[in-house]
Amino acid sequence: MTSFYFNKNFYLRMSFDSDTTDYEITRARIKARKINDIAVKMKKLLIFDRKQLKKIKTSIEAQINKHY
């Protein structure tokens, strides 16, 4: 990829050819799916972590209030 294409952000707008026999195209599609799967998993984990932190916070606040 030349610097022109990189600077003009052409990479983000590139589409994949419909020819599934080309190794590079297939590899790029698989890589894009894996990246998307990782991003979705990270979002789910972030939501889960936030819920757990809220539970911990309320638990700690309850313990503090119990002792005072």
**What residue spans define the domains of the chain?**
3-67
Cα angle value 20/24/19 (rounded, 5°): 20
- Interatomic CA distance for residues 54 and 43, integer angstroms: 17
Tokens at residue 52, please? 């757990």
pLDDT of residue 18: 59
pLDDT band at 4 (very low <50, low <70, confident <90, very high): low
What integer best gives the mean pLDDT of the chain? 78
- For residue range 52-63, what is the model confidence (pLDDT) as tens digits? 999 999 999 999
Cα angle value 36/42/45 (rounded, 5°): 145
- Amino acid occupying residue 1: M
Confidence check: pLDDT of 45 > 90: yes
Exposure b/e, 31-58, CB count within 10 A at least 16 = b: eeeeeeeeeeeeeeeeeeeeeeeeeeee
